[in-house]
Amino acid sequence: MILAGDVGGTKVHLALYDFTNGRLQHTRDARYPAREYAGLEEIVREFLSGESVSSACFGVPGPVRDGRLRLTNLPWTLDSRELSHALKIDHVFLINDLEANGYGIAELTPDQIFTLSEGDPRQIGNRALIAAGTGLGEGILLWNGKMHVPMPSEGGHCDYAPRNEDEFDLLRYLKQKYQGRISFERVVSGMGITNIYDFLRDVRGMEEPAWLRDRMTSEDPNAVIAELALTAKSEICEKTLDMFVSAYGAESGNLALKVLSIGGFYVGGGIAPRILEKLRDGAFMKSFTDKGRLSQLLINMPVRVILESRAALLGAAAYAEARAAELSGISPRAASAAF
């Protein structure tokens, strides 16, 4: 059995996987509110309840150095060696969460992916992955001539680049709010949606009716904004989602240019599947391809949305099995395919 984990700033998602005919087989999973626990070890112990696993991999937000990471949104320091010893799991690995998502792409089935733009599917080369959720993750899938090798990136923390008057004023608003530089994550993420909403209310003076204000304070504001925007029941929510999707497409195009992702571009994370209807209306792709003399390069790139919420877990499980097999010489995947 293989343990996979997706560690976020607000929740930890754990799952157990086995193999059937060479493919990952989901056994069970559970989500835990991260801030209610002292550390990852406590959550894993509760999840496993004494069940034995051969290897484990956790996708984590941030750069992993020598198997060690200090989380920015939680008071945790994770160390793969310490986790291995404490949990009595022979092989424990920590990788960047977008790296885990990258490994997960190879495990997905066609029904778990939505094609936003066909592009030219004959092209072979690098791929890129962007994922807006609690934060903004970006990753690279480097084509080495035989396969795509996922590589982590912290591109979501690069400087936000406004493109029109609304976005220039949004930047000024956010610089004052956060007292300093503004990264793309402040705009293209869950916090970004509420930042845009607050800007439209406070700076543009768009109306926030009392019933909407009540819902924004008593419910998940991002869910409220998405619902009311997609059903055309609130002008400020519609404008918020318009600005968010436009900025999301623009930064996706920026990443695609930097990586030269002619082999395909993937949009992951928790937000995209929930606003798929909006992503399909053309605004995302318009911003994605609006790159001047290089627009045709972007038009030719296939763009796909990952619908599977467990993509990072699939990738973490695949990575754990492959790396443990390298170290031990025993491959559960290969063994399951032999029967």
Give the domain extent around 198.
Answer: 110-307
**Are the beta carbons of 85 and 319 closer than 8 angstroms?**
no
Quote the CA–CA distance of 179 and 193 in Å, as a whole number.
19
CA distances from 76 to 31, 37, 64, 98, 261 (A): 18, 10, 13, 19, 34
Compute φ and ψ for 284, nearest 5 degrees. -60, -50
What is the b/e burial string over 64-77, where b = at least 16 CB atoms within 10 angstroms of the residue's CB? beebebebeebebe
pLDDT, tens digit, for every residue of 247-277? 999 999 999 999 999 999 999 999 999 999 9
Quote the CA–CA distance of 179 and 156 in Å, as a whole number.
19
**Are the beta carbons of 241 and 226 closer than 8 angstroms?**
yes
- Helix, strand or coil for residue 34? helix
What are the start-end ranges of the H helices in 51-164? 80-87, 97-105
Q: What is the mean pLDDT of the chain?
A: 94
Whether residue 339 is predicted with pLDDT greater than 70 in this model: the reply is no
**134 lies in the same domain as 267:** yes
Looking up tokens 């296939």, which residue turns up?
Answer: 302
Tokens coding 244: 């968010």
R_g (Cα) of the chain, nearest Å: 21
pLDDT at 72: 75
pLDDT, tens digit, for every residue of 61-118? 888 999 999 987 788 999 999 999 999 999 999 999 999 999 999 999 999 999 999 9
Number of structural domains, the chain? 2
**214 lies in the same domain as 260:** yes
Q: Residue 52: give its domain's CATH number.
A: 3.30.420.40
pLDDT at 19: 86
**125 lies in the same domain as 253:** yes
**116 lies in the same domain as 253:** yes
**259 lies in the same domain as 179:** yes
Q: Residue 258: give its domain's CATH number.
A: 3.40.367.20
**Are the beta carbons of 301 and 127 closer than 8 angstroms?**
no
- Better-scored residue on pLDDT, 46 or 339: 46
Quote the CA–CA distance of 89 and 16 in Å, as a whole number.
14
**265 lies in the same domain as 122:** yes
**100 lies in the same domain as 118:** no
**51 lies in the same domain as 9:** yes
Quote the CA–CA distance of 237 and 224 in Å, as a whole number.
8
**Are the beta carbons of 64 and 96 closer than 8 angstroms?**
yes
